[in-house]
Structure 1
Amino acid sequence: MSALAALRNLAFALTLGACAGSALANSYEAQLPPELSTSPHMCDYVACADVMPGADSFSERKGQPPYVEAYRSADGGKQLLGYVMLSTDITDIPAYSGKPVVTLIGMDTTGHFTGVKVLKHSEPILLLGIPEEALIEFNNQYLGKFVGDNIEIGRSRPEQDIIGLDAITGATVTVIAQNQVMMLSGGEVAKQVGILKPTIRPQAKFIDTGAKPSWQQLVEDGSVQRLTVAAEEVGLPHRGQPYIDLWFGYLNQPTVGRAVLGDGPYNSLMSRLGEGDHALFIVRSAGIESFKGSGFVRGGIYDRVQVRQERDAFTFRDTDYFNLYGIAAAGAPAFSESAIFIVRSGAFSAAYPWKLVFLANKMDKATGAKTFANFDTEYWLPATYMEGGHPEIVKPDPVWLKIWKERMVTIIAFTAFLVAIAVVYSQRDTLVRRSTRKNKWPVNAFKYVGWVISIGFVGFGLLAQPSITQVLTWFHALLFQWQWELFLSDPFIFIFWWFIIITVFLWGRGLFCGWACPFGSLSELLYKIGGWVG
C-alpha cells in the first residue's frame, strides 16, 4: 500500500470515529418538559437523585433564585442531605452557541458539589467534533470541590488560592461559560442557605443639601436610573412599546428621598424603617409586563425583581413591600405600577454600587421554549450626597480580559506569526521570480516553515483551528443576540477569524488554506511526505 493510500485510510478512519462520537450525544437540543422551569415540583420532571446520591425525597422549589432541598429517610424521619438547583433558574450565561447549557447541580449542606448533569445544550462542537463525554468529564472535576473556592479554567495557582480545571480541547469558550454557571449557581444558593456569608460593607453617611431637585435633575445626576427591556430581547415581536420600562432609585438619602416622595411621605417612611433597612422605589412608566409578577401570593416572594451588590443578592417578600402612591418631583413620568421595596440586610450599603435585576420570561425563537433571562442596570448614589464621596473600588476584570492578560505573550507571538506569513504571502510574486524549476526554495522555505509553525504552535499548541461550527455561532449571534464577551473568551480563534476575513478580501482563501490553517498545513505536509516516500 502506498503512503498516500495509507493517509487516505487514516483520514477515513478519523472521520468515521468523529461520526461515532457524535452518535453518543443525547442532550444536544434535548426536549425538556416545560414544567421543569415552572413547576414547584421540579424533581417530578428531572432525576434530581442523579446529582444527589442517597437522596430519596425532595422538597418543592423554595427561595429566590429557587432551589430544592434533598432528603434521605433515616430513623423514621428525614435527614437533609443538600440542595439541588437548575442552572437556568439562576443564570442565563450563554455558551459558544449563544444559548445556555441547562445543567442540574447538586450541593451538600457543607457547600461541596455532589453531582452535575447536563440536561440540554446547543453546542455544535459537541455534536460534530468533540464527544459529549468530554463535557461530562469536565463537569466531574467539580465533584467534591467547595462552592466558595476560587475555581478557574487553566492551571492551578496555589500562591493565589486558585484551583485550576482542565479545559476541553477545542471548546474553551464552552467550559469558561460552564464554569461561570457552576460557581454562580452554587454561590447564589449557598448564600441563601447560610453556607456562604454575605460581605459586610461600611454604610454610607449622607449629606442633606436641603435642595428639591426636579425629576430631570435626579436623572441627570444619577439619583434615578432607568431599566428598559425591549420586546425583541425576550423573543417577542416589536409592539410599539417596550416589554417593560422601569425607573428606580434609593430613598434613604434625604435629598433624593424628599424630592421623590415629598417631605411628609419621606418622614413617614423613615419612621417605619428599622436599623439597617434600605428603601428603594420602582415605577413602571411603560411596557406590557409587571415587575411585581402575576403569580405573587401573600407570604411569597416577588420573583421578578431583586437587588445585587457584587456577589450578594437581595430578594423581597410581601413584608418588604410598601405602597407608593405618587412622585413629588416635578416632571416625573406617569406610571402604571409602583412600589417601595425594603432591603433588610446589613450587608447592603448605599455607599457602593448595586444593580436592580429584572427577571423576564424569554421565548426561544427556534424552539418556542420559555426560559428566564436577567436584565439589570447599575445604580450608584451620586458622590455629592455622601460624606467623603464614593469609596475607592477595584472591580475585578471580566473573564475574557483576564484571559487576554494571562496569555498576552502567546497572543503577541501568534499575531506576529500571522503578520509574518501575510507579509511573505504578499511578496509571493517576487519570490516566485527568484525561483527556478529546480530551485523552488525561495518560496518553499517560507511555506514549509509556516506549515510547521501552524501545525505545532497554532494547531497542537494553541488549539486554534477555525471550523464551520464557529461560523454558525457567528451567524446565530447576529440573528439573535450578539455578545462580544462570548467571542473574546477565546483570543486565538477571535484573532484568527479577523485575520481570515481581512486576508480573504485581499488575496482570496489561498493564504489561510495553504499557509495558516493547521489542518490544511497538516494535509499539505502529509501529502508532500507521502510523495517523497513514494
Structure 2
Amino acid sequence: MSARSFFSNCLRAGFLLWLLFSQAAPAAINDSQIQALFPKATRIEPKQDNPPVYSAYQLDELLGYAFESNDYSSLQGFSGKPIRLLIGMDPQGVLSGVTVVEHHEPVFLHGLGEQALFDFVEQYRQQDISTPIVVGGRQAETVDGTSITQFDGVSKATVSVVILNETVLVSALSVARELLEGFSSSPLATPKADLFEPLDWDQLLDRQYLQRWQISQAEVEQALGQRLAYFPGLHGDNAEQPFSEVYFAYLNTPNSGLNLLGQVEFDKLNQELKANEQALLVISEGLYRHVPDDFTPASAPSRLVLVQNDKAIELHDMNYNNGAVLELLNTPLGNGVAHIFRIKPHAGFNPAEPAQLQLNVSLKRNPLVEDNAIFTQALTLDPALFDIQPPQAVAKQVPIWLRMWQERSWQVGITLLALVLLSGVFVFQQRISRHSRAFHVFRGGFLIFTLVFLGLYAQGQLSVVNIFTLLLSLGGDFDLSVFLMDPVIFILWSFTFVSLFIWGRGLFCGWLCPFGALQDMLAWLAKRLRIWQWKIADPLHRKLQWIKYAVLVGLVGSAFFSLTLAERLAEIEPFKTSITLFFVRTWPFVLYALILLGLGLFVHKFYCRYVCPLGAGLAMLGKYHLFSWLKRIDACGQPCQHCKNHCEIGAINRDGSIDYGECVQCLECIVILNNQDQCVAAISAEKQASKARKRVANNQIIATDSPWQNAAAAPKT
C-alpha cells in the first residue's frame, strides 16, 4: 500500500469514527450566572417547561426572565455549532444583559480573542427588543420607516456577530410573545358586541353558550385502576354522585357573559380585563372540584388547563368579587366553587377554533403513593358569536443568509465575474498562453486581486476549519444555511469543489488562495532582489510532500475527539494571522507566519508544497479530475527538461509527466510550449529547419553557378 493510500484510508476511517462519537451534553446554568443578569434578585425560580425560562424575583416582585438561546434557536455559528447564550429580559421587554455561555467561533477563540466577543454582547444591555437591532450594515436610523438600533460589528468576524445577533433576537422575541404583554397579536376572533338576546340558565345550556361536563366515579375508577374507597381524601356516600360536575362559559360574548353576570357586572368585568384579554367562567360541584380547598386566589390552578392546538394555555384566577363569583351569577346552583379566569393575550387563544379543558386528577392513597389521571372535554363556541378576522399578512422574514447575500451583493458580483474570467482563461489556455507577456501581466494582476480583494477585503480565505464545519454538520443535522452565511466563502468553495474534478486542485491553490498569492509575490520579490533560491533535490522533495498529508490526518483525527482541540491545532495554517487578521495578533502567531513567509523567499511556496493541510485535502479529491489539460509533447522529458527546470513548484516529473496532485496550474509550462522562442524542442526544430533551408539555398546557388548549366543555357550560333 502506498503512503497516499494509507493516509486516504486513515481519513475515511476517521470520518466514520466522527459519525459514531456523541457530543457532550451542555453544562447546566447555575444561579450565579442568572444573578449576574439580575443583581437585585433575592429568589430565582427553577427552570419552567413552557416556556423554558428562569424567573428572577426581588422578594415577590418579578424582575424578569433568564433563558438559554439553545431552547429557542438552532442557528449554527460559523464553526458549525450554535452559539449558546444566557439572556436576561425584564417584564417590559428590555434586555438586562447577554452572557456567552459556550461558543466555538475560531476567530474569537484563536484570533481576535474572546474579549472582542464579550465587548460586542455588552451592547445588548438595556436594549428594548421592540426596536429592531442590526449589526453594521447600512447607516440609517430607520428600516422601512421603523426606528432601529445599530450595533458596531466586529471587524474580521462579521458572520459570527450577525449570527449571534439573530440568535439573541429570535430567543428574546419568542419569550416575549409567550410571557410579555404587548408582544402578541390580537385574537383573530372578536365577540360581536351587538349580538344579544336574554336567555336563562337552561337556555344557555341548550344553546351551548354554557357547557356542562360530568365525570362519573366509575370513569375515574377505571382510569386510576383503583376504587375511590382507597382514597381517604374523598368524601361521599352516594355512588351516583358525580365525581366532578363542571360548568364553563366564555364570558366575553354578551350572550353568555351578560346573561350570566348582568349588565353591571358584565361592564365591570370588561373594565378589569386588559386589552385583548379573555375571560372563562368555571363552576364545579361533586367530590373533586376544579381547584383544591387550599387554592390561592389570583394564582393559576394546577388542576385545570386550557388546551388549543396541542398547546397548554395557562389560566389565571382574576379573584373576581374577592372569589365570591357564585353570588353574582344567575344560576340555580346552590353549592360549588366558581372562578373567573383570565386568558392573557400572549397565549394566542382563538375562541372560534376548537379547544379543550383538561382536568388533572391527582389522588393520594397515602402520604407516599399518589395516583394520577387526566380527563378532557371539548370547548366549542358558536362561530356566529364572533367577527372572524383573517390572519394579518405578515411579511415573511428574509432569512439571515439571504440578508448577508443582499448586503454583499456587489462583492458576490465581482467574485462571480472573476471566476467566469478565470474559467475562460483555463478553457482557452492554449490560445491565451501564446501571448507570453500579456499572460504574465494577467496572472500577476489576478494574484493581486486574489490577495487584496478576495483575501484582505472580502475575507475569502478558505481554510481546513471549513472542513471541520462540514464534518460536524454531516455528523448531526445538516443545515445548508450555515454555509450560505458567508457568500464569498460559499462561492469559492463551490467553485473549488467543482473545479477539482475538472482541472484538479491547482486552480484554487495557484489562483484563488490569498496566502498562496502572497507567497507568489514574495517569490517575485526574491527574484528582483536576486535572493539565492534553494533547489530541493527530487528525492527529498518527494518525501517532504507527505508532511502535509500527515498534518491533515492529524487535524481531522483530532476533530473526532475535540473540535476545540482541532481548531487550535489548525493554527498550523497561517491564514488567520496573515490574511484574516492581517498580522494584528499576539507575537507568537505573527512570528510563525513570518517564518513561513520568510522560508518562501528561499524555497518557492514552501508552505504550500510541504505543510498546507488544505492543499493536501484538495489534492486527494483532485486526483479524480476528468481532464489532463496541461499539454505535453513527445520531447518533454525525453530528453527535454526545460519545463521541469522552470517548474518552481516541482510538479513535473523527469519523464515530462505532470503530478496533478502537486501542480498549482500556474500554466508556465503551457506558456513555454506555446512560444517558439521558449520551448527547447521548438527552438531545436527551428534550428534544424533553418539549417535545412540554408542547405537548400546553398545548393540552389551552387547549381546556378555551375559551368555546365551556363553552357547549356548559352544560345547556339
TM superposition score normalised by structure 2: 0.43
Alignment counterpart, residue 150 of structure 1, candidates 132, 156, 171:
132
CA contact (8 A) 1:455 1:519 kept: yes
Check whether the contact 1:53–1:114 (CA below 8 A) recurs between aligned residues.
no
**1:203 paired residue among 189, 198, 214:** 189
Q: Is the 1:103–1:116 Cα contact (8 Å) retained in structure 2? A: yes
Match of residue 122 from structure 1: 104
Per-residue deviation, 1:145: 1.8
CA distance in 2, matches of 1:432, 1:107: 64
Q: CA deviation at 1:178?
A: 1.6
Alignment-derived partner of residue 316 in structure 1 = 313
The aligned residue for residue 418 of structure 2 is: 417
- Measured in 2, the distance between the counterparts of 1:518 and 1:149 equals 40
SS of the equivalent of 1:482 reads coil
Number of positions where the alignment pairs a residue of Structure 1 with one of Structure 2: 357
SS of 1:103's equivalent in the other structure is strand
Change (3 A) 1:455 1:390: same
Q: Which of 486, 498, 502 is residue 502 of structure 1 equivalent to?
A: 498
Q: Distance in 1 between matches of 2:515 and 2:172?
A: 39
* DSSP 3-state at the match of 2:477: coil
- The CA deviation at 1:481 is 0.9
Letter in 1 for 2:150: G
Partner Cα separation in structure 2 for residue 501 and residue 99 of structure 1: 23
Deviations 1:115-143 (A, max 9, x none): 32222223445444453333222212222
Pick closer, same or farther for the CA change 1:521–1:343 going to 2, 3 Å. Answer: farther
| Pairing partner for 2:523 from 523, 527, 531 | 527
Q: CA deviation at 1:411?
A: 1.6
| Partner in structure 2 of residue 407 of structure 1 | 408
Greater RCO (Cα-Cα under 8 Å, separation 6 or more): 1
Counterpart in 2 of 1:480? Answer: 476
Alpha-carbon distance in structure 1 between the residues aligned to 2:343 and 2:103: 38
Residue of structure 1 aligned with 2:174, choices 163, 178, 188: 188
Distance, in Å, in 2 between the alignment partners of 1:487 and 1:446 is: 31
SS state at 2:130 partner: coil
Over the aligned positions, Cα root-mean-square deviation in angstroms equals 4.3
Instruction: Specify whether residues 425 and 349 from structure 1 end up closer, same or farther in structure 2 by C-alpha distance, changes over 3 A only.
Output: farther
1:310-349 matches, cutoff 5 A: 315-317=312-314, 344=343, 348=348
Q: Partner residue of 1:88? A: 70
**Deviation digits for residues 71-117 of structure 1 (CA, Å, limit 9, x no counterpart):** 55xxxx67654432222233333323443222112234543333322
Cα offsets for 1:243-293 (capped at 9, x unmatched): xxxxxxxxxxxxxxxxxxxx99x98799755548799xxxxxxxxxxxxxx
- Please give the TM-score of this superposition, normalised by the length of structure 1: 0.56
Contact residue 129 and residue 172 of structure 2 kept, 8 A: yes
Would the alpha carbon gap of residues 346 and 66 (structure 1) be closer, same or farther in structure 2, given more than 3 Å must change? closer
- Aligned match of 1:15: none
Unpaired runs of 5+ in structure 1?
1-28, 37-41, 206-262, 280-296, 309-313, 321-341, 354-385, 436-440
Distance 1:278 1:81 in 2: 27
Paired residue for 1:433? 434
* Distance (Å, rounded) in 2 between the aligned partners of 1:90 and 1:153: 21
More helix by share: 2
Same amino acid, percent of matched pairs: 27
Say which SS state the counterpart of residue 164 (structure 1) adopts: strand
- 8 Å contact from structure 1 (residues 170, 464) kept in 2: no
Separation in structure 1 between the aligned mates of residue 442 and residue 465 of structure 2, nearest angstrom: 30
Measure, in 2, the Cα distance between the counterparts of 1:470 and 1:66: 33
Q: Whole-Å Cα distance in 1 between the matches of residues 432 and 507 of structure 2?
A: 15
Q: Counterpart of 1:131?
A: 113
- Shift, 1:398, TM fit: 1.9
For residue 299 of structure 1, what is the aligned residue in structure 2? 302
**Which stretch shows the higher mean deviation, 113-122 or 504-513?**
113-122
Q: Does 1:100 align with 2:85?
A: no
Amino acid in the other structure paired with 2:416? T
Q: Residues 402 and 298 of structure 1: is their aligned pair in 2 closer, same or farther, counting only changes over 3 Å?
A: same
Tell me the residue number matched to 1:336.
Answer: none
Q: Offset at 1:185?
A: 2.2
Q: 1:346 to 1:191 in 2, by over 3 A?
A: closer
Instruction: Give the aligned residue type for 1:94.
Output: Q
Deviation at 1:190, TM superposition (A): 3.5
Report SS of the residue matched to 2:501.
helix
Deviations 1:221-263 (A, max 9, x none): xxxxxxxxxxxxxxxxxxxxxxxxxxxxxxxxxxxxxxxxxx9
Relative to structure 1, the CA distance from residue 301 to residue 511 in structure 2 (aligned partners, 3 Å threshold; closer, same or farther) is farther
CA distance in 1, matches of 2:421, 2:352: 48
Measure, in 1, the Cα distance between the counterparts of 2:516 and 2:278.
64
Residue matched to 1:176: 162
SS in 1 for 2:502: helix
Work out the CA distance in 2 between the residues paired with 1:92 and 1:109.
25
* Maintained 8 Å contact 1:95/1:177: yes
Distance 1:136 1:163, change over 3 A: same
